[in-house]
A and B are shown apart, each in its own frame.
Chain A
Amino acid sequence: MSMIDAMIVSRFDPILMICAQPREACIGLIGSLPRFALARCALWLVLVLMVLSGCSQNSKCEIGLCPIGTECDSGSGKCVEITAKAPNAPKLRGAYAVVALPGLSRAFLGYASAEQSLVWIEQQGAKIKTQFIAGPAAGDGPGPQGQVCAAVAAANGDVHIVWISDKEQTLWYGLRTQGRWKRTRIDAVPPKRAARHVAITLFQGAPLIAFEDEINGGVSVVTRDDKGVFSVETVPLPTGANVVLQGDLSLVGGLSGVTLGMYDAIEGDLLLASRSSTGWKTARFAGNEPNMGSDAGLPVVLGRDLAGGLLVAWRDRTRNEVMLARSVGGKVQKSVITDGLYAVENRQISRRKIVGTALAIAVLPNGRSVVAVQDASQARIVVATEQANGQFKAAIMPTSDRAQFRPKLIGQVDGTVLVSWLEIDPNGSGEGRLTTWILTQPGESP
């Protein structure tokens, strides 16, 4: 087992530029500017000209009439403070994770395709800081690292991460404490056993890692004892099940145990595996086998409500619906979040979008659930927020004429929701630009 301290590379000193109109805000977060005064002045001049030209038709905004993610600045009369796009942050490809950090800051862990490295992007307000954790950009030598990764933050601000080294196909664990990283290769998992999907959560303060098990099939779990020793166990499956994973592997911790969401491709069922002090218990939760007549659970995402109850959101492929289940008074209550139905313009017919091919879930401080849904037909992100009546109200995330995918959510302590996604580079090969949006009035359409 080797332990290597990661380099912290702080590269950018971002500049925030805001150009806002009452109904439409164009915000640019410009980072990665070289520290050359002349160039900086020239750029400022350009930006000022852009502001003057782009916003010359502005009128004063009104309180409450700004788009979601913005608010009306009574002093300037403009809608300000909203989305933070990071055009100069590394473009990400594949799985990425987002965690909330103390002080309303957040961080993203993903695979920077250009650098072939696992990157940590920390954002507080308009500032972003980028660190490479593994891979060539982190001094690991040639060979990509971190195309498969996950992260979880502890209440004290520590961050636990996991990733797979592409070159050796080994599983790695990282811990960030007081701004410093420690990396550990998990030798308990032999090379080429972990593949494609990983997840990490905390149980009783210790990290618990799940990974797609290439050797045994299904999913296996890594735990670490007080002495820092890792051990591996395979999650039991129902007889005949064949687990297929899509998107992110969903794992959630709780007071009494952890729960893992999987999909059985044989029956088309959503499987929930729970680990408590007595061991693992796996059950079919939705789909064909439990007599629901649907193909359910590809993908699935798990969360916890404020009382620690399990929240399960999944895609029902047969009905083309996104469902949410929660425990209410000891009974499972299921509700439809969206069915993708839309009216065709200029025609008296309706069609259905493909919805829910990627999902994210969060809970607001008021206990209401928020689910981010991938609209696969339009390549847009839709955020559905639970209303007082239990129904969900959807808001389509703003677009910059780029396809959006892989939504993530964080319910923040101030009641806002941080939504993040990737915007596909149309000239690329699947990598995307990280984009975030803060919903200040969840449930309203921007």
Chain B
Amino acid sequence: MRWRRKIRLIWALVLVGCTGALLPLDAPIDPDFWVERGAWVVLTNQDLQQLPAATRLAAGKQFAVSVPPVKLESGQLAGTTLNVSVLQGQASISATQDLTLTFPVTAPVTSLAWEVPNQAACALQWQWQGASLEMSFRLARDLSGKVDVTLATAPTLQANQAALNDPSNCLMQTAVGSEGSLEKQLSDIIASTLTASYVNAARSILLTVVPIDYEFSGSAQLSSDASTLDLAARFSKPTDNIASLLRHNGSYAATALDVAMNTQCHPCAEDVPPPKQKVKALPVQPATPPVTSAVLRRAVVFDKALLAHMAWAMTRNGQLCSRVSAGIESLLPTSWAADAAPSLGALVGTGPVGASFWPGQSPTIRLINRDEAAAVEWTIEDSLLEVSAPVAGVELVVLRIEGSFRLTLAPKVSTGAVLHVVDATVDSAVLSSPLVPGADLSAGGGLVAVVQAALRGIFFNGFGLSTGPSNGVVVGSTHLADQLWIWLAGGSS
């Protein structure tokens, strides 16, 4: 179903690890839950020019052009198949914002048979010395994100020095007249057949390539046993040609998205309204994009308002009330319990360590710089982290940490615009343990390590837009004012 395909990135953008059925929305999402221009898809100006070059996927392709028999008075040129090769072409965006593609094409020497009734067939050879195919397309998108590609002008094939070799002088021995007329007819037939084939192929490629970047629009309800989450996104403005699709602003082009999220309130979350949003302006010009050898460099830009709304939705949906059963021990020294709370050292055995996190409220968002890159800092007040471990062979919660947790989230290279917990700490921590009921434990120097390992383990999958390894390699991130830029490289050249 098309709507399902269209929202695939939308819901992945919001929740990771949330499984369930995708259903159409029963009703439009209330305006209070929309963040206008909360996200942007950005292409650098240089890379914008490369967008059509993505059609070089077609370069090197061979088109089998089927040439029907050509009948003349004196005989017939038998039908055959030409294997036409497309070489690396050029693309440009015209003043009218049409996308023009120009490709040199070539065909190998092809043997033809000239058939005259009651005579033996005569062998001919045909070849283009040089030919160039030019097509001009218009790309349009409506508010729903549907992209259409139409021919702006009729395609033209300029074939130079088409040669029809007649080594046996067959044609001269017949009443064909001149071989030139046969040559022209042959070229016309080949040109029309080839053009139709290639226009269809190019249009198909464009329809495949272009929507990957802009298929952010749609709506759906993600429903699971525990809760439902309504998601929607739309382009902030409709467009009727590529110029509006990619609005130029200096050295980059961007398209804005409005994003909406609403969800049932999970029992573990307080029933509070979303943070107040406001309409945002165009993104400011970012720092120089990272230099890569990729075909496309694009950025996904999250406005802080959208990040806050996403965090609210995730909290309300119960996604932050999360647990990992084991695996944290691999991130910790064996003496982790004694390091975190010395009085627990002798009680806690070795084995799988798990953790549960219970947020007290939605995270407050701050954009920060970290290790020459951008990151998002979540502060989650009044929360609880429970760490479980074996005690005499039985899994028990051994440590309860209550306080204000700060998580630093940043993208990783290989997973696209997914924010991973890269650091965590706790402020004003109060420690207790069911193993020593009623006692406030004193924290050891290893407490932060336990908090880090636990939260990294719980939120191992991260939050955000998983773009896949082929077109989602993160090549840089930055934050400007209230916007988080995550640069992605798509398809290395």
Interface residues of A (CB under 8 A from B): 93-95, 246-247, 295, 317, 320, 341, 347-352, 354, 357-358, 374, 376-380, 399, 401-403, 405-406, 422, 424, 426-432
Contacts and interface: CB of A to CB of B under 8 A. Distances in A.
Given A403-B435, A403-B437, A428-B346, A350 B268 contact: yes
Nearest to B349: A430
A86 B364 CA distance: 52
A354 B436 contact: no
B321 A354 contact: no
A377 B435 contact: no
Contact of A349 (B268, B325, B346, B354): B268
B391 A430 contact: yes
B442 to A, nearest CB: 14
Contacts of B356: 352, 354
A302 B435 CA distance: 28
Interface residues of B, number: 31
A357 B391 CA distance: 11
A429 B348 CA distance: 8
Given A351-B321, A403-B435, 13 more contacts: A246-B395, A317-B325, A348-B270, A352-B356, A354-B323, A354-B356, A357-B395, A374-B394, A378-B397, A379-B437, A424-B347, A426-B343, A427-B346
Counting chain A CB atoms within 10 Å of each CB, the highest count among B269, B395, B438 belongs to B395
B31 interface: no
Given A376-B397, A424-B347, A403 B434 contact: yes
Contacts of A376: 388, 394-397
A320 B384 CA distance: 18
Given A94-B392, A405-B392, A429 B347 contact: yes
Counting chain B CB atoms within 10 Å of each CB, the highest count among A349, A426, A428 belongs to A349
A380 B435 CA distance: 10
A430 B347 CA distance: 5
B392 A93 contact: yes
Contacts of B391: 403, 405, 424, 430
Contact of A379 (B269, B270, B323, B397): B397
B386 interface: yes
B270 A354 contact: no
B271 interface: yes
Contacts of B347: 424, 426, 428-430
Contact of B394 (A348, A350, A351, A357): A357
B444 interface: no
B396 A349 contact: no
B388 A426 contact: no
B396 A357 contact: yes
B358 interface: yes
Nearest to A431: B392
A95 B392 CA distance: 8
Nearest to B398: A379
Contacts of A432: 392
Contacts of A349: 267-270
20 contacts: A95-B393, A247-B393, A348-B270, A348-B271, A349-B268, A354-B386, A376-B397, A377-B397, A380-B434, A402-B437, A403-B391, A403-B437, A405-B392, A405-B394, A406-B392, A422-B392, A428-B346, A430-B346, A430-B347, A430-B349
Nearest to B359: A349
Contacts of A350: 267-268
Contacts of B438: 401
Contacts of A347: 270
A401 B434 CA distance: 9
A317 B356 CA distance: 13
A67 B394 CA distance: 28
Nearest to A148: B393
Contact of B435 (A94, A247, A357, A424): A424
B321 to A, nearest CB: 7
